[in-house]
Amino acid sequence: MTAVQDILRSLGITRCYKGFKHTEYAICLAIQDESRLEAITKEIYMETAAYQEGFFVFDIATFNERVVREAILNAVSHRNYQFGGSIFVRQFRDRLVVESPGGLPLGITIDNILDRQLPRNRRIAEILSLCGMVERSGQGMNLMFELSVQEAKPLPDFTGTDDFCVSVTLNGLIIDKAMLSVINRINEATMESMSTEDFLTINALYHDRPLSEKMQSRLNRLIEMGIVEHIGRKKYVLARSLYAATGKSGVYTRHVGLDRNTNKELLLKHIREHNEVGTSFKELQQVLPSHSRNQIQVLMRELKEAGKVICKGKTSAAKWFIVK
């Protein structure tokens, strides 16, 4: 009991704390018999989700301990202590909701919450960091988003947040287990070098969602990593190998095929509109500025083989016409 008391005191929890006796007793029970803690955990939480990769089966907890911890620590260090009331953790079988008094700190919005680090209670944030309770100083929210993507779960949801309360919902259900295969195909060294925005970009591409300006700025780096492929004008998809890992090679083919046909139609439209004078290769490059010379040559060769266009002349003087 004395050792437990010393640990609690080192954390700043003294006998003046209203729940000191109960906390001390609970810790002692857990130390004496770890199965008690396990039994309580199973009673409270949903069973873990099973995910199979080849011959191996992995369990993914409904609520990631690190994500829950960061959400609660964020509430403790960022709540407005001038407001009355307590921090509430509302648990449901498929989600966890953390609510803290006071709105977001001045200058922080839901849109920039991953980019700006401005703790309302700096001393508390520093103490949590020194105690090793914060995973990465100033990066707790980023960690929550990254782990949600890695576990193929919905991103933290701030619906219900206003000027008087910050509410964050952590969804525990896996959206698509195939997404886990995508993440597992990215090697550990590469993943460690990835930013939060990289994970969000992968998540958006997988779910066919629009890319924000920040996500678009990460595309070249993801292409270098072999995670993303550029298949056309402002068109990007996850690499073929990642789609193959999910058993969704057809999705990759559909993305590439649709974009390829669209590009061919754009080229044909331009050539058709200028069929009297012909279209130079330089003009075709203006139609598809994001494509390389070789990519456009391949498209034109396919159109020529299909009997839709013909090239008259040679080298820079060559002109393309619609076959009548």
pLDDT tens digits, one per residue of 197-227: 999 999 999 988 999 999 999 999 999 998 9
190/264 same-domain check? no
- Say which amino acid occupies 197: E
Domain span at 161: 59-171
Residue 252 lies in a domain: no
99/137 same-domain check? yes
pLDDT of res. 138: 60
CA distance 174 to 51: 10
Q: Quote the Cα angle for 175-176-179, to 5°.
A: 120
76/148 same-domain check? yes
Q: Which helix (H) or strand (E) holds 304?
A: helix 293-305
pLDDT of res. 5: 76
125/70 same-domain check? yes
75/166 same-domain check? yes
CA nearest neighbour of 232 among 304, 186, 287, 307: 287
Residue 50 lies in a domain: no
CA distance 323 to 218: 42
165/98 same-domain check? yes
Low-confidence ranges of the chain (pLDDT < 70): 1, 11, 17-19, 22-23, 30, 34, 36-48, 50-56, 134-138, 232-233, 245-258
Residue count of the chain, please give it: 324
141/81 same-domain check? yes
71/136 same-domain check? yes
Residue 49 lies in a domain: no
Residue 212 lies in a domain: yes
Residue 52 lies in a domain: no
- Please count the structural domains in the chain: 4
